[in-house]
Structure 1
Amino acid sequence: MMNITVQKERMVLSEIGQIILVLSYVLMVPIFSTNEQVKYRAFYAHWATLILSLSILVLAFVIQDLSIDYVVQHSHGQLPFYYRVAAVYAGHSGSLLLFMAAMSTWVFYAVICHRSLIDLKRYAFVIGGLLTVLLLSSNPFTHSTTVMPSQGLNPLLQDIGMMIHPPMLYLGYVASIVPFLYVLSCDKSIDNEALLKRILSASLVILTMAIVLGSWWAYRILGWGGYWGWDPVENASLLPWIMQLGLYHAVIAKQKRWIYILSLMGFMATIFSTMMVRGGMLASVHSFAESPPVFYGLGAYWLLIMGMVLYHMYRHIPLRSQEAFAIRLNCLLAVGITLFLSATLLLPWMLSLFNLPPLVLSEVFFTKVMLPMVFVVFYGLVSYLSVSRTAMGLGVVLMLVAYMLSDHLLLAIAIGAGALVLYTYYRSKHWNLSHMAFVLMVLLMLINGHLTSYEDIVIKMGDSLTLMGDTVVMESVESTKSPTYLEKKATLNIAGTYYYPAIRYFPLNDMAIAISDTRISWFKESYVVMSAEVEDGWSMRIYHQYGVRWIWGCAMLMALGFIKRRKV
């Protein structure tokens, strides 16, 4: 009787959440009022109801309210408090609600800063479409027909990265709504770049750091042995970042035509990435579960946005004006790379619809396509600057030295060109932290890709192997138990250095994951993954990575460079 009473009390939370979410939808009607005071009060109330509905969903996860179906599907009583909070955005419903709350918050900030910047009627149209998709296909407050919790949060997501990476990514993604609504509201009269620049600077800092944190998370947990795997979900996260980066440069250069184009296409890219990832259509180890209603709902919404974009680009796009070659090149690259990555996401899915052989796009494929674009970017950077003969000579010398050491022509050219850019920036008055960090990051990535190697071994307890001149000894395998998983941890002695890779089995999810162990020197990292137990012992892979921490450090410096940027 007590359990039934508690359950009825908790159902009140579900009802309140439903009412507030519907209220946020209803409050968009007064936004179309001609009375300015009524319109803005309705918008503020609508924003508050979105934030409140998200807070109620978080509370439902914290208290483990099993009257809500979404809580039943994605949470479990054995999860620690902080993982229950993270489980809010582990599925379609919570992630879309967080997505919209963040989107509304950016618009709220823009309206507070400059009330006439955005036409709120257009905002109501845009957010109304997403709310319709959420309420019809993935309502987060739907009542549950059972009180039995499911498997809970995926073990791969039970990590500190889950607490930080997704919310930052969402917050950075949806900032694209402000320039989108801005250019729709002002048509050709684009004359308020200061606020756009401030919002883009903040979103690029957040989005860059979020991508770096995601790279760090995957490096530790997935056992790929690398910081970037060209995974479809990883590539999807690049689309809004690339478009916002191109738009940021267009705003700095005050190129109204490109501001218009990239603002419209940037939001379209954000919705496209959301559709592919949140709909679960991408084959990825960290993709969402497949949900056709969500995918088709977001797909219809994306087509609607694309129609709006094409119409406004045809009717209102500003005339071409004088623009620096490097700026035009930067904007064209942003559009070109975005279209290329979008095609790589769409093609495998489209082939699967017709039962055609799957299209496997390997890391080698992406490297071959993207590397020439790196040279184009370097050329664009150099075109900003006055290149001296000394810089040209230094670049040629380093190119020859790199080729002699690596016997890799493209790597040598990239090192020479990168050194030319860095030296020219250092000696010129156009010192730019973001540009220099970007160039150095790309060079480190190329060097890492050339030097990285791995070896697979099978070893028993007490065995000793010789690998690349180093002695490898398996000293022990210990079993431990926690409230949520069983763990087997190996003690591996490699040339006097101890590594402790492990495998964790989660009975609730019937899933095992590898926990890697890494040893770091100033540039090299040895990375050990314990794969599985086999007849002849334990299967392991030993990676040798180079400069990964330096790559992440350069990315962080690049993000910090957006905070305060000197005029170029």
Structure 2
Amino acid sequence: MIAEIGHFALILAFAVSLYQATVPMIGASRDWHGWMESANPAALAQFLLCGLSFAALTAAFVTSDFSLKLVYENSHTAKPMLYKVSGVWGNHEGSMLLWVLILSLFGAAAAVFGTNLPPRLRARVLAVQASIGAAFYAFIIFTSNPFLRLANPPFDGRDLNPLLQDPGLAFHPPFLYLGYVGLSMAFSFAVAALIEGRVDAAWARWVRPWTLAAWMFLTIGIALGSWWAYYELGWGGFWFWDPVENASFMPWLLAAALLHSAIVVEKREALKSWTILLAIMAFGFSLIGTFIVRSGVITSVHSFASDPERGLFILAILGAFVGGALTLYAARAGTMTAKGVFAPVSREGALVLNNVLLAVSAFVVFIGTMWPLFAEMMWDRKLSVGAPFFNKAFTPFMIVLAIVLPMGSLIPWKRARFLRAIRPLRGALIFALAIGLLVYAVSTGRSSIAVIGAGLGAWLIAGAVAELLHRTGSSGLSRLLRLPRADWGKAVAHAGLGVTFIGVGLMTAWQTEDIRVAQIGDSFDVAGYTITLQSVEQIEGPNYLSTMAAMKISQNGTEVAILHPEKRVYPVQAMPTTEAAIDNGILRDIYVVIGDAQADGGWAVRSYVKPFANWIWAGAIFMALGGLISLSDRRYRVAAGARRKSMTAVAAE
């Protein structure tokens, strides 16, 4: 009965989304206030109905209701409760229901917190948001119904993919979807502005917090996925340039560009056309990511390799919304005239360069990701584009971006004298050079990536500090503490990028790897640590069998840690997984993996010492924290004078 209620609520949410997509839009075009105002309760009703549907599906997973086909295929009675809950979105149908739930959540949030928006703009934003929801409700109901019943319910289920039975993967998809789907708000604002033919500073002020929230969640989601790949897959890497990894990275790059571009629209009323285009493309690439994951056209450990017909449905949604938005963009391009004029050497010029670097780097990732598919379709050739291509084609853009960021933050608006403007960065430059030289001194014979990563990371961190100090002037600590939170957030985010640069550069260049066959009791040295294989035993988990090793780590005769790597087998799916054991540290990780038993009685063992590995994810945390600090700035919540003036002008029309 609960499942039927969930199914009925989903159909009602679809009907409400159709109403919300049409009636407020008509009301905005006719200036019928009652019709426009109906968008608010419709958005809230849609969210509540979709939430009820999702709660019904969650209840089915928690209670192991195997009469539902989806529960039978993705759950098991012996599975821990955390993975019963995460199993709701650990499959195609359930994850799409989470997708539309988050979409309706953003629509409801816009209805609640968008009371300061002009009525016509708010009605159109909510209508566009609902039209996206209607398309995906139709996709779920007609091709991916999560509430299908089995005529003869089995006693137990097939279990969830063992790779997904991990805390990192339990929380990774919701955060990723909050970022993916959150960009729909920027898209809705862009389309609504195009319909009105009005893009101004007030519009940029309204769209920035939604974009910032989406970018922040996407940062967390990508970091959780990277962290999971690092410790769960057993290969010791943090980024594989997998197609599905790239599918989340491309919207992140474009969202970062959109954030910086919207600043120029808000401050100088320039780059209007470019900002609208970025808002369309950022969400467009989110839809491309959805297509890649669910169409089955690209094989990935992360993907739901579903049937191609579903992929065609998503492709049709992508074509309709992005194609329609771009057509509207072309029709309205002449109305988006820039008011601010600026010199190449200016804050605006630096932000333009920032946007170009981020957009082109996203395009490079797109080409590398989709080229094998294009080659197979056009020339029937199977090609593989791997890490070497991405490292060589993508990295130069990030290096230039890191160089530009601290300078662009200090250059004045409109026009500037370059050398004078960057004078406050002299200390940061000296610090960065000193760090680079120090790393060079201890990296003799190793890759130059350590020097580049550490130097650029130090430059970003010191540059962020220098910018804060420059803004305080001679006022000291009191002025520093009174700086707007947006300034603090920007500094923390830029410094976080610097921390990630340091982690990537030093870990990539300095890590040590050892692969061998070890007998129980054998000791061997890796990068100054002595590793001893003490024992290997068989243990039984709640829904798996495990081969667990005990490996003692010591340095100079002193015990550092005892690690327990595992090789698990999940009997229901007959699938093995590797569980690395890691001794985490601020300056290094010791990472050990136990492999298969050998004919001579030994065990395959892989050991790594990874300097500064945790700095990669610490930097991501700082970037997300910077976004959160900026989002808390009262200027995003309280109408400024310019905004009130713009709202009054719109209301008077």
**C-alpha deviation, 1:377, in angstroms:** 0.6
Q: What SS is found at the alignment partner of 1:525? A: strand
Q: Does residue 481 of structure 1 match 2:540?
A: yes
1:155 equivalent to 2:162? Answer yes
The question of 1:195 aligning with 2:206 is answered: yes
Q: Pairwise mapping of residues 90-109 of structure 1 onto structure 2 (< 5 A)? A: 90-109=90-109
Cα separation, 2, equivalents of 1:225 and 1:55? 37
Q: Find out whether 1:515 has 2:533 as its counterpart.
A: no
User: Cα 1:61–1:520, aligned 2, differ >3 Å: closer, same or farther?
Assistant: closer
Q: Which residue of 2 aligns with 1:176?
A: 183
3-state SS of the aligned residue for 1:406?
coil
Partners of 2:395 and 2:257 lie apart in 1 by 18
Q: Does 1:540 align with 2:605?
A: yes
Which ranges in structure 1 are unaligned for 5 or more consecutive residues? 1-11
Q: Please give the per-residue CA displacement for 1:396-431, whole angstroms capped at 9, x wherever unaligned.
A: 555455445435455535544444444344334257
CA 1:424–1:488 in 2, change beyond 3 Å: closer, same or farther? closer
SS of the aligned residue for 2:226 comes to helix
Partner of 1:449: 508
Task: Write out aligned runs for 1:316-395 (5 A).
Answer: 316-317=332-333, 318-320=336-338, 322=341, 324-353=348-377, 356-384=380-408, 385=410, 386-388=421-423, 389=426, 391-395=428-432
Matched with 1:83 is 83
Superposed displacement of residue 393, structure 1 = 4.9
From 562, 580, 585, the equivalent of 1:498 is 562
Give runs of aligned pairs for residues 284-299 of structure 1, distance below 5 A. 284-299=300-315
- State the Cα distance separating 1:174 from its structure 2 match: 0.8
Separation of aligned partners in 2, 1:491 and 1:415: 35
Q: Does structure 2 conserve the Cα–Cα contact (< 8 Å) formed by 1:76 and 1:151?
A: yes
Q: What TM-score does the superposition give when structure 1 sets the normalisation length?
A: 0.91
Change (3 A) 1:457 1:197: same
SS of residue in 1 equivalent to 2:106: helix
Shift of 1:157: 1.2
In structure 2, how many angstroms separate the alpha carbons of the residues matched to 1:285 and 1:164?
A: 17
Displacement, 1:337?
Answer: 2.1
SS of 1:192 mapped into structure 2: helix
Q: CA offsets, 1:179-228, max 9 Å, x none?
A: 11112112242233333222223223222222222222222211121222
Q: Is the 8 A contact 2:433 2:455 kept in 1?
A: yes
Residue 205 of structure 1 pairs with residue 204 of structure 2: no
- Name 2:443's counterpart in structure 1: 406
Kindly state the Cα deviation for residue 37 of structure 1 after the two structures are TM-superposed.
4.7
Once structures 1 and 2 are overlaid, which stretch shifts more, 535-544 or 407-416?
A: 407-416
In structure 2, the partner of 1:309 is 325
Q: Tell whether 2:121 aligns with 1:121.
A: no
Larger deviation, residues 234-243 vs 456-465:
456-465
Q: Deviation at 1:564?
A: 2.9
- Letter in structure 2 aligned against 1:473: T
Contact kept in structure 2, 1:278 and 1:295, CA below 8 Å: yes
SS at match of 2:137: helix
C-alpha displacement of 1:134? 1.4
Alignment partner of 2:192 out of 185, 191, 205 = 185
Structure 2 unmatched ranges of 5 or more:
28-34, 343-347, 411-420, 472-487, 636-653
Report the 3-state secondary structure (helix = DSSP H, G, I; strand = E; otherwise coil) of the residue aligned with 2:629: coil
Distance 1:355 1:81, change over 3 A: farther
Q: Deviations over 1:76-125 (max 9, x none)?
A: 22222221111111111111111011011112111222253241432333
Q: CA deviation at 1:529?
A: 0.9
TM-score by length of 2: 0.79
Helix, strand or coil: the match of 1:61? Answer: helix
Counterpart contact for 1:387–1:424, Cα < 8 Å: no
Task: Please give the alpha-carbon distance, in whole angstroms, between the structure 1 residues aligned to 2:161 and 2:225.
Answer: 16
Change in CA separation of 1:525 and 1:24 when aligned onto 2, cut-off 3 Å:
same
Work out the CA distance in 2 between the residues paired with 1:38 and 1:522: 54
258, 265, 283: which one aligns with 2:281:
265
- Does the Cα contact within 8 Å between 2:17 and 2:134 map onto a contact in 1? yes
Corresponding residue for residue 531 of structure 1: 595
Q: Give the residue type in structure 2 aligned to 1:366.
A: F
- Give how far 1:504 is off: 1.1
CA RMSD of aligned residues (A): 2.5
CA contact under 8 A between 1:92 and 1:279: conserved in structure 2? no
Inter-partner Cα distance in structure 2 for 1:171 and 1:305: 19
**C-alpha spacing 1:138/1:113, structure 2 compared with 1 (3 Å):** same
Shift of 1:252: 2.4
Cα displacement (A) at 1:477: 1.1
Please list the CA deviations of residues 516-551 of structure 1 after superposition, one character each: whole Å capped at 9, or x if unmatched: 111234412110011222213211211121112222
Rounded Cα–Cα distance in structure 2 between residues aligned with 1:334 and 1:49: 38
| Contact 1:61–1:71, Cα closer than 8 Å, also in 2 | yes
Deviation at 1:443, TM superposition (A): 2.6
Q: 1:327 and 1:515, CA in 2 relative to 1: closer, same or farther beyond 3 A?
A: same
Give the number of aligned pairs: 556
Q: Which amino acid aligns with 2:581?
A: D
Alignment of 1:35-114 (within 5 A): 35-114=35-114
Letter in 2 for 1:131: Y
